[in-house]
Structure 1
Amino acid sequence: MSASHDAPLQTLFLPFAHGTLDWPQGPVLFLRAREGWPPREHAATGQLVCVQSFRPFAQALERGGWEVRDEAALETTDARYPLVLVLPPRQRDEARALLARALERVAPGGVLVACQSNNEGARSGESDLQQLAGLGGKLTKNHCRVFWTAPLEGGHDEALRKRWAALDAPRAILDGRFHSRPGVFAWDRIDPASALLAEQLPADLAGHGADLGAGWGYLSAEVLARCPKVAALDLYEAESRALELARRNLAGSAAQLDFCWHDVTAGIDGRYDFIVSNPPFHTPAREDRPDIGQRFIAVAAQALRPGGRLFMVANRHLPYEQILNDSFGQVRVAAERDGFKVIVGTRGGRA
């Protein structure tokens, strides 16, 4: 997401730009933080403590000079902050849980400020914060809504906060076969595109493979279950919340596993015998981005050994044919169903 077009990030800082709220002197906690010019206009160097689980956003923050922590690291401290900023996600259970955890981090007399775009649940988010802790104010601009609490001195609904804080906790799904949590892709089901790809996996896959965009681990689990000659599998996933679930779901595998919190579009190291992928084609904000999937294909081709194969699934309409033909010696459509296509690309003798 371009910082210059990140409307929720810009709108989040509107109360401070207008003087409606005062910017504090001490450390400020920023949950689901994103890099851009608005925080740099207000925060001093080292003042923001940023929490971000999506690798491309985390790397952008680090390049901007901000301190970045993951959710697990935050849970090891009981620090409280005079200001907590939040960019809640679209999924409502995940958003409510994030607001509840944010509230727990507000110091006495502090303020919680959140912002969402109108098409990402802004009205629901405002209603949820009002129910949880009461509203001190709100503003609308850029097709977004920023809303905040009055200075907090207790008095919020602590029982509700505790219930909401657990709404996105990992839990068993699919009759206990896997664990997942609200907010990750296809969190409570097997994605039909991934299921179609799994059906096309040949049992003779062997050696060292990779899963690009592994999510909570379904495709990797299917590879290991269907292909006993696979000795090692590397899982690449940009969302750390999903990657930790994959680590849990694949525990006990006989194969050597490596879990990589990584942005695949930046390229990967290694030479693989095979790669499987259900690549994303949109950003976390649901912006349509087929170029992400195209980049996954190019990266896969570069990472395969000569003769290595890519097994990928995509929506039938996505424009992947040219990059596939440019990147692989042989390309074939292995299956089509319900608007999805499974494509197998075999790398030639040179990249």
Structure 2
Amino acid sequence: MNDLALAWLTRMMMQENAAQALWCSDENALTSLPAAEQWPHKPLLMTNRWDIAQQAERLGFNSRFSDFDFSELSDASLSHVFYRISKEKPVTHHIINQAHRLLMPGGKLFLCGQKSEGIKTYIDKAGKLFGCTASAQKNGTVYSAILDNMLPQNDQRLDDSDYPQLRPINSPQGITIHSKPGLFGWNKIDQGSEFLIQALPALLDQLPQPPKRLLDLGCGYGYLTLMTANLPLEQRVLTDNNAAALHTARRNCELNQITAEIIAADAGDQIQQTFDLILCNPPFHQGFSVDSDLTDKFILSAKRLLAKHGIALFVVNQFIPLERKAREHFRQVNMLAHNSSFKLVTLTH
């Protein structure tokens, strides 16, 4: 599906052709983007998504993969910042705040999004922070604004929930879990993941031999791996597409003295070895909408990464047709358990 807000932003970037420009992009895929050689001046692209960073590099852009860490960029060093708003308010507020710091006096923030995403409110807030008249332009369901940076840095920053900082969340006794904004369901234990962990001991008891190599596919802040601390595993690998998830998962493993590899990848695409146990609570949203292709992507990844006699355990919402999709690729697809919200499905070659 074409993102009309992103299309507007692309037009503005091509039109402005600014030498000192930054483009911030997260869950919104790079669709129909002209190759970098068509841009005399290419914006620096900062993204917290591994797949977007890799796609941008392939197109010839200079990209930075991070949890929107702008610390290496100097105050008032940019003339333009381009941003299609994010799904989560703390992320959007954080980037607007940083745009205010990074833009030189008179520099411009190009801001856009869908009406249903709260873009008009973000434009109003950014206008107050920047000290300019914020006039939202409507194009169908898309609203956009070009904001001039008229005020010096001040204490009117938008509330970003202290975005960069990790903070503890309620967790099972004996396990220390930190999280942060920028992660889906960041301030709680995901109910689907908890359901999976509750069923895991019974599943492992049925296996002919204990697993030795664990892959946490789409690890988030690492909850599934943390809850395997008592298993005599020889290797643990956690992978995710999100920079915030990778940073937080690494810290959680350190805090709980769990030896693990943390790998940036798009559904495990950077991993070559196989595993005899794969645990996965896959995402089913891309940006603001449900994306059924994500299910296929994680199923195909599990097919490639699962050892011959291994087992993959997925937890998904009841409405995700995981079993039907997986039967094309696995010899056995079994419903292990279900409740009113989730189902657990095992996959074996």
TM-score category, normalised to shorter length? 0.7 to 0.9
Once structures 1 and 2 are overlaid, which stretch shifts more, 58-67 or 135-144? 135-144
For 1:193-208, list aligned pairs within 5 A.
193-202=192-201, 205-208=210-213
Residues 1:39 and 1:124: Cα distance change in structure 2 (over 3 Å): farther
Counterpart residue number, 2:64: 69
Deviations 1:218-272 (A, max 9, x none): 1111122xx4211211111001111111111111555541111110174741111
Alpha-carbon distance between aligned partners in 2 of 1:167 and 1:266, rounded to the nearest angstrom = 28
**Aligned 8 A contact 2:123 2:134 in 1:** no
- Say if 1:23 and 1:324 are closer, same or farther in 2 by CA, change over 3 A: closer
Measure how far apart 1:211 and its partner are.
0.8
In the alignment, which residue of structure 2 is the partner of 1:315?
317
**Deviation at 1:26?**
2.2
Corresponding residue of 2:19: 26
* Aligned counterparts of 1:141 and 1:28: Cα–Cα separation in 2: 24
Q: How far is the alpha carbon of 1:278 from its aligned partner? A: 0.6
Q: Which range is displaced more, 76-85 or 206-215? A: 76-85
1:197-219 Cα deviation digits (max 9, x unpaired): 11111256531110111111111
Correspondence for 1:8 among 5, 9, 24? 5
Report the counterpart of residue 218 of structure 2 in structure 1. Answer: 213
Please give the TM-score of this superposition, normalised by the length of structure 2. Answer: 0.86
Match of 1:101 in 2: 98
Does residue 149 of structure 2 align to residue 159 of structure 1? no
Which residue of 2 is the match for residue 294 of structure 1?
Answer: 296
Between the aligned partners of 2:37 and 2:343, the Cα distance in structure 1 is 48
Aligned AA for 1:229? P
Distance 1:149 1:286, change over 3 A: closer
1:40: how far off?
A: 6.2
Q: CA RMSD in A?
A: 2.7
1:147 aligns with 2:145: yes
Letter in 2 for 1:144: V
In structure 2, list runs of 5 or more residues that go unmatched. Answer: none
TM-aligned CA distance change 1:286 to 1:138, over 3 Å: closer
CA–CA distance in 2 between the matches of 1:326 and 1:39? 36
Q: Structure 1-normalised TM-score? A: 0.85
What is the deviation of 1:171? 2.0
Alpha carbons of structure 1 residues 164 and 302: separation in structure 2 relative to 1, 3 Å:
closer
| Amino acid of the structure 1 residue aligned with 2:186 | W
Q: By how many angstroms is 1:196 displaced?
A: 0.4
For residues 24 and 267 of structure 1, the distance between their equivalents in structure 2, rounded to whole angstroms, comes to 34
State whether residues 135 and 147 of structure 1, in contact with CA within 8 Å, keep that contact through their aligned partners in structure 2: no
Identity %: 23
For 1:116, the equivalent position in structure 2 comes to: 113
Unaligned runs of 5+ in 1: none
Matches within 5 A, 1:251-290: 251-252=254-255, 255-264=258-267, 266=269, 268-283=271-286, 285-290=287-292
CA contact (8 A) 2:87 2:288 kept: no
| Aligned twin of 2:184 | 185
CA contact (8 A) 1:268 1:299 kept: no
Deviations along 1:153-200, one digit per CA (max 9) or x if unpaired, are 4346x1122854834633222169322122311111111111101111
Relative to 1, partners in 2 of residues 1:116 and 1:162: Cα closer, same or farther, differing over 3 Å? closer
Q: Which residue identity lines up with residue 123 of structure 2 in the other structure?
A: E
